[in-house]
Amino acid sequence: MTSIPISDKTLGVNFTDANEATILVWAPEAESMDLILHHQQQAVPLTRIDYGYWSLETPLLQPGDRYLFRINGKNEFPDPASLSQPDGVHGASEALRLTDFEWDDQAWTNPKLDDYIFYEIHTGTFTNEGTFEALEQKLDYLHELGITAIELMPLAQFPGTRNWGYDGVFPYAVQHSYGGAHGLQRLVNACHQRQIAVVLDVVYNHLGPEGNYLGQFGPYINPKYYTPWGGAINFDDAWSDGVRQFVIENVLMWFRDFHIDALRLDAVHALKDFGPVHILQDIRRCTDELMAQTGQRHYLIAELDLNDNKYIAPLEKGGYGLDAQWIDEFHHALRVTAGGERTGYYTDFEGISHLAKAYTDAFVFSGQFSNHRKRFFGTRVDDNPGQQFIVFSQNHDQIGNRMLGERSSQLMSFEMQKTMAAAVILSPFLPFLFMGEEWSEPHPFLYFADHSDPELTQAVRQGRKKEFAAFHAIGEAPDPFSLESYALSKPQWELLTQTPHQQMFQYYKKLIALRKTQPALRHLNRRQLSVKVYAEAETLILHRWHEEQHMICILNFSDQPQPVTFPELENLSWQKILDSSDTQWGGSGQGEHLPMTASGTMIPSQSFQLYTNGHV
């Protein structure tokens, strides 16, 4: 492929120091290309150059001006690399100069991945206003909680104002209703001032259906491949070099021009690329070049459903070089262990024995037969450190893809929620929270969208109904296109001052503080842990250590108090430092009367206890 520019964005509209617009459009099969100055209704022709690109330098287009591109003297479309769509996906593009924003985060250093504690946010529902500006007002709260990295669900311009973000059709344009490009820059700047990293969820495996004009410019979609959400992006067929540059420049823009610290790459298993160099390898290489130039650190994180270690293996070992990946299997095993239903993909999971395997092996399926997939599945990741794996008890998918969008707070007892939180936050992996779970938010998080095409709207409704058939769901799903579904998905911030939500918040705050301060919990050496399972008692002991400090995490998922023993550790003296059943966390207080002995203890039902051999 052609060399990718690292230092500057070249696609779309950019501006020189002399305020002259430089324009580059990829349309390899077009016969002519004109810039349409929307405010003047003036057409300015572009010049064809190598590899299917069209270029123009002109002082006629200025920052803030609206414009379109006319192809073959006929139809006019927004810019594929538009930075702003003030009038939505069907309107004219707005020329922006990203360098106009004045950053003051020069003292910011992106922390080591080991120190990331993720908090997933949907910008539109996180606050009543649904904007970056309103989100910024919550940063002090997140800092108090102990969050070190917020993860924003996709921001690429989508139809309407209500959408999860995975229907984006302008990958370079930040959703205008949220606050647009400069609003995002201000938010990132404010996060860095509070020592919070920003992770952005990006979608490179497909494009949304409404307002998708990229196909008018070139073969962005490969008709040979499909994803569950539509045609696959063309990474390996005719003219794919232009598509690859489009995606790689987008990655670099987020890091370089928006100071984003990490990207969460949506469903990388749906990136169809059978060429000699996978698109993820090129993204890794170019990200490394950018980091070498700027001295800044950026991470690439995969959502992955393949249990294939090549995605997180380094380039020099033939891998794709991604820094970390989500582990849905940890969630599935934890959910079944906590009493969740075993339907759909949950049928593969046996509960506490699989949770124990997730702690020790990261992947639950590492080569054994999967009944759900009807094949042997997975590889081992024995040599990968804990910071390469991200775990959670809930996220937008696992909540919103339920028919009624129930959070754990609607499915599990208050005590079980605390136990699940400990299972995640004190794991040897990177913990990930979904907005509101830290105060046991009872509102659901539903799937919602705002398409204007009636046929598309009906197709989405039918698709949702078909999807739930595998889970044997009864009844009708809430209408994803109603304002009620959107409004109901907003967390209720006023609950933070009420019982028992305040106790849950304080409990999460304590768990996070312990993870940050205790060496045995903070160091993610997967070789310095052991797991003991009492299968019939539905109880698990997670033993982690670093140097002289040992930590014992006891998790009782059963409905009865359970005895636990660990004679192999009798030579150590133990101090209890956290008990989820304590009254200060809204519990019954049962654990206060169950002391630890040299050989073990009794742990209350649906509870968690943490012991250490040293002083805290």
Predicted confidence (pLDDT) per residue in 572-613, tens digit: 788 899 999 999 999 988 877 666 666 678 899 999 999 998
398 is in an annotated binding site: yes
Per-residue CA distances from 294 to 107, 149, 261, 310, 449 (Å): 14, 21, 13, 28, 38
Give the count of beta carbons closer than 10 Å to the beta carbon of residue 238: 10
pLDDT at 477: 81
Comparing CA positions, the residue from 584, 578, 577, 580 lying closest to residue 615 is: 577
pLDDT at 58: 97
Task: Please answer whether residues 233 and 222 qualify as being in contact, where contact means their C-beta atoms are separated by less than 8 angstroms.
Answer: yes
- Cα–Cα distance for residue pair 119/330, rounded to 1 Å: 17
Q: Is position 559 annotated as part of the catalytic site?
A: no
pLDDT at 474 over 80: no
Domain 526-612 has CATH 2.60.40.1180: yes
Provide the mean pLDDT of the chain: 94
Structure tokens at 150: 């917020």
**389-391 and 430-434 strand pairing:** parallel
**549-556 and 170-174 strand pairing:** unpaired
pLDDT at 443 over 70: yes
- The percent of residues in the chain predicted with pLDDT above 70, rounded, is 96
Contacts for 33 with CB less than 8 Å, ≥ 6 apart: 25, 27, 45, 46, 48, 54, 69, 70, 71
pLDDT at 401: 86
Per-residue CA distances from 150 to 119, 259, 420, 432, 456 (Å): 5, 14, 21, 9, 32
Query: For residue range 18-59, what is the model confidence (pLDDT) as tens digits?
Result: 999 999 999 999 999 999 998 888 999 999 999 999 999 999
Contacts for 44 with CB less than 8 Å, ≥ 6 apart: 34, 35, 37, 56, 58, 60
Contacts for 237 with CB less than 8 Å, ≥ 6 apart: 219, 222, 224
401 is in an annotated binding site: yes
- Cα–Cα distance for residue pair 508/496, rounded to 1 Å: 13
pLDDT at 456: 84
Q: Is position 476 annotated as part of the catalytic site?
A: no
Contacts for 501 with CB less than 8 Å, ≥ 6 apart: 439, 440, 441, 495
pLDDT at 97 over 60: yes
328 is in an annotated binding site: yes
329 is in an annotated binding site: yes
pLDDT at 29: 96
Q: At what angle do helices 240-258 and 279-294 cross, to 10 degrees?
A: 30
267 is in an annotated binding site: yes
| Torsion angle defined by CA atoms of residues 417, 524, 286 and 228, in that order, rounded to the nearest 10 degrees | -30
pLDDT at 615: 60
- Cα–Cα distance for residue pair 317/281, rounded to 1 Å: 12
- Biggest CA–CA distance in the chain, Å, is 84
pLDDT band per the 50, 70, 90 thresholds, residue 454:
confident
- Cα–Cα distance for residue pair 80/215, rounded to 1 Å: 9
Domain 12-100 has CATH 2.60.40.10: yes
Amino acid 294 reads T
pLDDT at 461 over 90: no
- Cα–Cα distance for residue pair 489/431, rounded to 1 Å: 23
Task: Please answer whether residues 317 and 35 qualify as being in contact, where contact means their C-beta atoms are separated by less than 8 angstroms.
Answer: no
Comparing CA positions, the residue from 276, 348, 349, 264 lying closest to residue 318 is: 276
pLDDT at 330 over 70: yes
257 is in an annotated binding site: no
pLDDT at 597: 65
Q: Would you report the helix, strand and coil content of the chain in percent, each value rounded to 5?
A: 35, 20, 45
pLDDT band per the 50, 70, 90 thresholds, residue 455:
confident
pLDDT at 203: 98
- Cα–Cα distance for residue pair 281/1, rounded to 1 Å: 13
pTM above threshold 0.85: yes
Query: For residue range 266-297, what is the model confidence (pLDDT) as tens digits?
Result: 999 999 999 999 999 999 999 999 999 999 99
SS3 string, 454-513, reads HHHHHHHHHHHHHHHHHHCCCCCCCCCCCHHHHHHCCCCHHHHHCCCHHHHHHHHHHHHH
330 is in an annotated binding site: yes
568 is in an annotated binding site: no
Please report the DSSP string for 89-152 in residue order. Answer: TTS-EE---GGGS----TT--PPPGGG--EEEE-HHHHSSS-SHHHHHTTHHHHHHHT--EEEE
Please report the DSSP string for 193-207 in residue order. Answer: HTT-EEEEEE--S--
Where do the structural domains in the chain lie, given as residue ranges?
A: 12-100, 526-612
Candidates 237, 249, 266, 438; catalytic one: 266
- Cα–Cα distance for residue pair 135/126, rounded to 1 Å: 7
Query: For residue range 172-191, what is the model confidence (pLDDT) as tens digits?
Result: 999 999 999 999 999 999 99
pLDDT at 404 over 90: yes
269 is in an annotated binding site: yes
pLDDT at 2: 61
SS3 string, 250-307, reads HHHHHHHHHCCCEEEECCHHHCCCCCCCCHHHHHHHHHHHHHHHHCCCCEEEECCCCC
Candidates 136, 303, 308, 323; catalytic one: 303
Number of H helices, E strands in the chain: 16, 30
Q: What is the mean pLDDT of residues 235-256?
A: 98
Question: How far is residue 405 CA from its own chain's centroid?
Answer: 18
- The percent of residues in the chain predicted with pLDDT above 90, rounded, is 86
Unique residue bearing structure tokens 């196909």: 215
Task: Please answer whether residues 351 and 339 qualify as being in contact, where contact means their C-beta atoms are separated by less than 8 angstroms.
Answer: no
Comparing CA positions, the residue from 25, 17, 18, 27 lying closest to residue 56 is: 25
Q: What is the mean pLDDT of residues 359-368?
A: 96
Q: Would you give the DSSP letter of residue 605?
A: T
pLDDT at 413: 97
pLDDT at 309: 95
65 is in an annotated binding site: no
Q: What is the mean pLDDT of residues 210-227?
A: 95
**pLDDT-wise least confident of 9-23, 30-44, 63-77, 468-482:** 468-482
332 is in an annotated binding site: yes
3-state DSSP call for residue 520?
A: helix
**324-326 and 299-302 strand pairing:** parallel
